[in-house]
Amino acid sequence: MIKDKSCESVVYSQKGNEYQIKSKYVISTNDIETLYTKMLSDHIVSQKFKQKLNDAVLYSSAVTVSIALDCPAENLGIGQELICISKEGINRNDHDSGDPLISDISILAPSVRDKSLAPEGKGLLTLYIPAYIDYKDYWGCTKDEKGNYLRGEKYNQIKTEVADILIQRVEKELSIDLKTHILFYDVSTPITYLRYTGNKNGTMMGARPGKENMQAGIAHHQTPVKNLVLGGHWSDLGGGVPICAKAAINSVTLILKKENKEKFNLLASYIDGKIGLAELNSSKLVKEYNNSWSN
C-alpha cells in the first residue's frame, strides 16, 4: 500500500480475512515481476524496465525426487558426500538441459547428516536435476483463466516418468538396488517450485550474472517507490543463499543509512571488515541477544 508516494503497509489475506501490517519500510523478497506488474499500480514501473525484467536471463528450475528409504542411506553406501552423476560425451550445455536422460543428477542423503529427519532404521535420499517449466508442454498442465497451471493426470504421469528415469540412472551408475528400498517418494517439478515460491518459471535463484543482465540493470535494491526496498535473490545477480544473505544485509544497511547514521556506521564497519564480531556485539548500539533461536 502506498501513501504520498511512499510505501506504508502490506495488506494480505489469510483464510478469508484481510489484515494490514503497517510499516515505515517494506523489504520485498518475492518475485520481482509479480511485485512490479501485479502488486504495484501499472504506472509506477516503466514499461521499458518491465520488458527488461521479462527478457532477463534466469537460472533454471529443478526436479527433486525426495525418497523415503526403508533403511539408512549408509546401507546403500551413501554418506555425507554430494554425489554427482554426469553423462560423458555430451555437449557442455546438455548437462543442465533438463532432459532427465542426460542432465547431471545430484544425490544427497540429508538423513546421514541429520538423524532427526527420518525414523530410526530409515533414511532419506534426494535426487535433483536442473529443469525447465516448458518441459513436455508445461508438464502436461493446462491453464485457468488467471494463468495458474492446472495439474491433472498427465502431469502426474510425466513427473512419475521423470522420477523413474532418475531412479534407474542412479541404480545403474551407483550399482545399488534402490527401487526395492523405496517406501514412498515425492516429486517436485518447476510447476511445484513456482506454486510454492511464486518465483518466475520456478527459477531456483532468480537472475544469472552475465553481460545481458548487467547491461539491463536488473540488479537493484531501491524500487521506484520510496521506502520499498528489494532484499531477496531478485535484488542481485547470482542468487542462492550467499547472495540472499548479502542482499538482506544490504537492504537493512540502506534503511539504517536513512534512519540511524550511528548504527549504519557501526554495521558498515563490520561488513567492510574494519571491526570484528566481538567489537560489533559489544557496542551499546547493538541490542543483547542470547542466541536462543530454534527451528
Ligand X SMILES: Cc1cc2nc3c(=O)[nH]c(=O)nc-3n(C[C@H](O)[C@H](O)[C@H](O)COP(=O)(O)OP(=O)(O)OC[C@H]3O[C@@H](n4cnc5c(N)ncnc54)[C@H](O)[C@@H]3O)c2cc1C
Determine what percent of the chain falls in helix, strand and coil, rounding each to the nearest 5: 40, 20, 40
Q: Does 64 bind ligand X (CB under 6 A)?
A: yes
Q: Does 155 bind ligand X (CB under 6 A)?
A: no
Closest distance of CB 142 from ligand X, Å: 23
Q: Which stretch binds ligand X (CB under 6 A): 24-32, 95-103, 165-173, 212-220?
A: 24-32
Question: Under a CB-based contact definition with an 8 Å cutoff, are residues 198 and 31 in contact?
Answer: yes
Q: Does 29 bind ligand X (CB under 6 A)?
A: yes
Angular region, 206: left φ>0, alpha ψ -120 to 50, beta rest: left
Q: Does 209 bind ligand X (CB under 6 A)?
A: no
Pick 204 or 254: Cβ nearer ligand X = 204
**Using CB under 6 A, which of 198, 201, 224, 268 touches ligand X?**
198
CA 171 to each of CA 76, 144, 174, 180, 182: distance values in angstroms, whole numbers, following the listed order: 10, 39, 6, 11, 12
Pick 9 or 269: Cβ nearer ligand X = 9
Binding mask 237-276 for ligand X (x = CB under 6 A): --xxxx-x--------------------------------
Closest distance of CB 7 from ligand X, Å: 15
CA dihedral over 41, 47, 49, 55, signed as positive or negative: positive
Q: How far apart are CA 189 and CA 186, in angstroms?
A: 10
Q: Does 232 bind ligand X (CB under 6 A)?
A: yes
Number of residue whose CB is nearest ligand X: 232
CA dihedral over 164, 162, 209, 211, signed as positive or negative: positive
- The size of the interface with ligand X (CB under 6 A), counted in residues, is 19
Q: Does 36 bind ligand X (CB under 6 A)?
A: no
**Using CB under 6 A, which of 199, 223, 227, 251 touches ligand X?**
199
Q: Which DSSP symbol is given to 226?
A: B
Beta strand residue intervals within 112-181, DSSP E: 123-131, 142-143, 149-150
Closest distance of CB 120 from ligand X, Å: 28
User: Phi, psi at residue 121, to the nearest 5°?
Assistant: 85, 0
Q: Does 78 bind ligand X (CB under 6 A)?
A: no
Q: Which stretch binds ligand X (CB under 6 A): 90-98, 155-163, 217-225, 236-244?
A: 236-244
Q: How far apart are CA 199 and CA 205, in angstroms?
A: 9
Residues that bind ligand X (CB under 6 A): 29-31, 34, 62, 64, 193, 197-199, 204-205, 232-233, 239-242, 244
